[in-house]
């Protein structure tokens, strides 16, 4: 006989996301229900409120499944009429490519894609590179468990599948580069619309907040890596106004600005209107105006303005443009690039191929990938500078290829260790940040649209 638990769970549709489900918990033993739902990949969004947001739009089905398991554990579950309607609804994907699949088989395919998505989101599957094969997104990555198996991924959102496996990251990357060399890009691809929507649905929210908007408090001083992104376009305009040696031009579509040094060997690309997690800046250096690039550095849209300001200042000073392609990345270079972090409370660890420096509070870091450093011609992200809940779910990130000048990286390390910036203070920010760590961001993959439903 099942023992009753003093916990009640009310399952309802999400207030803003079309398919997500929220669970409100009450009772003296609500923590029992909370742990059970977290184990099923529900995310804490407020005190005793959890959200289930998936990339396959099957949340009502899995909410009903969770209700059965909770009831079996002696927990009282209420399903609202509108959620029950969504659970009972018969629907199918429009133009589903595997038309021979039954509804249950389609759900199984989607659930396998969801598991891949969750493995990436939780940092268990590291994506090394991605490409577009003309039809969809493909990627290569390595599981940090399962014996370190490397995989070739094909597809986006609910259609993503493991198409091949490899014994090592090196073998996987070589095979991937052989097929996709022209389109290959380091790291994960940009987020899809579906993934962005799931992130927003899982975001921390206040279910008791008053409707009137509170007064905005004064900005607070924080370490530079926690500062607000600011106005990147204004930052670039100010830089170009002060440095006439750079020529500026915008693409015909007006969505990208290029700044090219008069020597034609340093080029800055600024993509406007990018999402916070997408690449907004690309800096590339060349040995001659017509040679292959020597090194490349990227920064995402949420990178704090003071960090970008320091980066542009070092570029204007001409730091290391003539780095020789043949110069190996050695221990001396790594030490020089991170020397400013020493003695400042940043933690230094070595874990296999990774050398890491992490801020005292664990909310920022610098990673060096020794494996990528041995493949300089692939322009893989050898250096990653990040800030956020964790390295696999950053709020912003800077990546740099093997031959990025150590003087440039040293300057960035100096900023991280010693400089401050400002951000708009928010009531309860500290509490919300703590909750958000249990809701890691989705992987970056290209967009797919939600399903078409029919009764």
Sign of CA dihedral 217, 221, 226, 232: positive
Residue 143 near residue 168 (C-beta atoms within 8 A): no
- Strand stretches in 388-442, DSSP E: 396-400, 420-424
Q: What percent of the chain has pLDDT over 90?
A: 44
Q: What is the pLDDT of residue 377?
A: 67
The pLDDT, as a whole number, for residue 2 is 62
pLDDT at 100: 86
Provide CB contacts within 8 A for 283, sequence distance 6+.
266, 267, 268, 269, 296, 297, 298, 311, 315
* Mean per-residue pLDDT, 356-383: 86
Asked whether the predicted pLDDT for residue 429 surpasses 80, the reply is no
Quote the pLDDT of residue 95: 74
Lowest mean pLDDT among 108-112, 291-295, 411-415: 291-295
Whether 328 shows a pLDDT value over 80: the answer reads no
319-347 burial, b for 16+ CB within 10 Å, e for fewer? bbbebeeeeebeeebbeebbebbeeeebe
Tokens standing for residue 233: 């376009």
Enter the pTM of the model.
0.50
Neighbouring C-alpha atoms within 13 Å toward the C-beta of 97: 9
Highest mean pLDDT among 152-156, 273-277, 430-434: 152-156
Model confidence pLDDT, tens digit, residues 25-48:
999 999 999 999 998 989 998 889
C-alpha angle 11-195-233 in degrees, rounded to nearest 5: 130
What value does the mean pLDDT of the chain take? 83
In sign, the C-alpha dihedral spanning 318, 321, 323, 324 is negative
Q: How does pLDDT run across 147-179, given as a tens digit for each residue?
A: 789 999 999 999 999 999 999 999 999 999 999
Residue 300, SS3?
A: strand
């Amino acid at each position: 006989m099942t023992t009753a638990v003093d916990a009640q769970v009310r399952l309802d549709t999400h207030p803003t996301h079309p398919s997500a489900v929220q669970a409100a918990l009450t009772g003296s033993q609500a923590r029992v229900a909370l742990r059970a739902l977290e184990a099923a990949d529900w995310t804490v969004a407020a005190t005793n409120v959890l959200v289930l947001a998936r990339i396959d739009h099957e949340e009502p089905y899995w909410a009903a499944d969770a209700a059965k398991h909770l009831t079996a554990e002696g927990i009282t579950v209420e399903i609202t009429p509108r959620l029950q309607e969504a659970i009972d609804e018969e629907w199918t994907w429009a133009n589903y490519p595997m038309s021979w699949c039954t509804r249950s088989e389609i759900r199984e395919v989607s659930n396998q894609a969801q598991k891949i998505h969750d493995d990436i989101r939780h940092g268990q599957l590291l994506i090394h590179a991605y490409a577009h094969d003309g039809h969809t997104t493909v990627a290569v990555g390595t599981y940090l468990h399962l014996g370190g198996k490397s995989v070739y991924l094909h597809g986006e959102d609910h259609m993503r599948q493991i198409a091949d496996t490899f014994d090592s990251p090196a073998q996987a990357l070589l095979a991937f580069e052989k097929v996709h060399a022209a389109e290959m890009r380091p790291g994960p691809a940009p987020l899809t619309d579906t993934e962005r929507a799931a992130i927003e649905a899982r975001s921390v929210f206040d279910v008791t907040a008053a409707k009137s908007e509170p007064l905005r408090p004064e900005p607070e001083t924080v370490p530079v890596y926690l500062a607000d992104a600011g106005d990147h376009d204004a930052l670039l305009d100010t830089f170009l106004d002060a440095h006439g040696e750079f020529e500026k031009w915008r693409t015909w579509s007006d969505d990208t600005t290029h700044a090219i040094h008069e020597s034609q060997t340093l080029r800055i690309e600024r993509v406007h209107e990018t999402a916070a997690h997408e690449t907004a800046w690309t800096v590339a250096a060349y040995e001659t105006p017509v040679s292959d690039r020597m090194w490349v550095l990227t920064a995402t849209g949420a990178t704090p303005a003071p960090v970008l300001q320091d980066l542009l200042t070092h570029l204007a000073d001409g730091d290391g443009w003539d780095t020789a392609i043949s110069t190996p990345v050695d221990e001396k270079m790594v030490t020089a690039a991170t020397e400013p972090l020493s003695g400042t409370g940043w933690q230094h660890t070595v874990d296999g191929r990774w050398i890491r420096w992490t801020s005292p509070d664990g909310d920022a870091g610098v990673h060096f990938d020794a494996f990528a450093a041995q493949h300089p011609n692939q322009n893989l992200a050898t250096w990653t500078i990040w800030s956020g809940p964790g390295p696999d779910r950053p709020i912003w990130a800077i990546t740099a290829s093997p031959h990025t000048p150590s003087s440039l990286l040293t300057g960035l390390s100096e900023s991280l260790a010693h400089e401050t910036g400002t951000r708009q203070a928010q009531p309860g920010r500290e509490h919300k940040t703590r909750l958000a760590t249990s809701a890691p961001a989705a992987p970056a993959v290209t967009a797919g649209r939600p399903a078409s439903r029919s009764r």
